[in-house]
Amino acid sequence: MSLLRRIAAFPVLISIIGSAHAQDILNPENDSSEVNKKLLTAGIVGGSAAYLGATVFLFHSIYEDDNFEPFHFYNDRLSFLQVDKFQHAFGTYAATYAGYNFLRFAGVNREKSLLYGGTLGFVLAAPKEIFDGFSGGTGFSVFDFTANLIGSALFTGQELIFRDQIMKIKFSFQRSEYSEQSNGYLGENILDGYFDDYNGHTYWLSINANKLMMKNKLPPWLNIAAGYSANGMFGPFENIDSYRSVIIPETERYRQYLISLDVDWPKIKTRSGFVNTLCKLLVFIKLPFPALEFNSKGEFKGHWIYF
């Protein structure tokens, strides 16, 4: 991934952090008509400026190496064994979460917050998908577009039905064992690895245990998480043989399906304001915990700790 595309990704990462902070001081049941216009204006102007800058960078990146082409489609259904599709859904879910919670914190009522914030992730991601349609290296992906829609819809649908996020999309990452064998193809460092090494990505659907079991006898912060990941990937569709004149070892590409326990961090309440804030900042982070794995190689195994 080019430097420009990485720069363009930062506003999404910032919005994830910002959403968690907003929720820390937000009372979601407060439908006061008093809108903090200064805060709302500052948020809209600041967010729009960051987004516009990122979009300009992203637009210019499609001209790198003269790779601009007429709009066309690209079938990447099997790219990285669909791990990247989960990444798209996670990004739009988090950005939608951020938009809705910011509007509520600024005093906008629930209906308008859902109207304007409930599709934010999908709207923010749309230009990138359109630009890809003009890129000679890729093209417009219906599957990426659909994953973006699913991420925003998961947030908005739950707010409409439950007035709560009983199911959150979470993310965990660690540099994979394959990064050391890739001679830099999967990233030179942990930041590169986040963008380049999908073997290290795991995406989780973390569900409140009480809601899942239709009981209220368990701690309110206890969740059950179902995860998806994949391993053995040195390329989007097929593994490369070498990189920078260094042989890449042969590996088997396979999918991983996981089940684990998790913590719904914002539901932890303590007497410490610092700890409460810290918990809310961790809203999209899956707690490292023992996990059971079934994979497409037919293996069933346990992990004492799965990151």
pLDDT per residue as tens digits for the range 211-241: 888 778 899 999 999 999 999 999 999 999 9
Sign of CA dihedral 152, 153, 158, 161: positive
| Cβ atoms of 14 and 54 closer than 8 Å | no
**Which H helix or E strand runs over 203?**
strand 201-208
**Structural tokens at position 267:** 């539901």
Q: What is the pLDDT of residues 182-209, one digit of tens each?
A: 999 999 888 888 889 999 999 999 999 9
Backbone angles phi, psi at 237, to 5 degrees: -115, -40
> Considering only CA atoms, which of 243, 162, 154, 166 is closest in space to residue 197?
243
Cα distances (Å, whole numbers) of residue 254 to 199, 203, 229, 259:
10, 15, 9, 17
DSSP per residue over 77-109, as a string?
TTGGGGHHHHHHHHHHHHHHHHHHHHHHHTT--
Residue 213: what pLDDT? 82
At 16 the pLDDT is 42
Looking at residue 119, its pLDDT comes to 87
Give the pLDDT score at 179: 92
All residue ranges of the chain with pLDDT < 70 are 1-33, 58-66
pTM of structure: 0.87
Residue with tokens 């391993």: 231
- Distance between CA atoms of residues 101 and 92, nearest Å: 14
Which pLDDT score, from 0 to 100, does residue 260 have?
98
pLDDT value, residue 18: 44
pLDDT, position 229: 98
* Exposure string over 84-120, b if 16+ CB within 10 A, otherwise e: bbbbbbbbbbbbbbbbbbbbbbbbbebeebbeebbbb
